[in-house]
Amino acid sequence: MSRNKSFPIGDTVRLVIYFRVDDVLTDPATVVVTIEEPDGTDNAPSVTNVSTGIRSVQFTTDQSGYHRWKVVATGDAAGVREGAFYVHTSGIVADA
């Protein structure tokens, strides 16, 4: 996912994380993902093992503003990665 991508409130954001050692996809021992919402609330969504060296998380947005994410991995593919995405209110008005 590219940094600072924008999503509407209510959308599900999916982060896909690749772990490589010497350019080879490698499983980390543990992976923790934290998403900080604009009001300061931290969320720790469940991490899904997609395949060797690939993990994903999904997060449904409910606040507008910048959301920051951080991935911490341990083991052979240890490392930290951070990024952000923006959530905006929809410009579409529903019929009453």
Q: Say if residue 95's pLDDT is above 90.
A: no
CB count in 10 Å sphere of residue 69: 22
The whole-angstrom separation of Cα 35 and Cα 72 is 12
Q: Say if residue 2's pLDDT is above 50.
A: no
Domain-wise residue ranges, the chain: 5-88
Q: Say if residue 90's pLDDT is above 80.
A: no
Each residue's pLDDT tens digit, 34-85: 999 999 999 999 999 999 999 999 999 999 999 999 999 999 999 999 999 9
**C-alpha distances in angstroms, 93 versus 39, 50, 56, 96?**
25, 37, 32, 9
Multiple choice CATH, 5-88, 2.60.40.10, 3.40.50.300, 2.40.30.10, 3.40.50.10380: 2.60.40.10
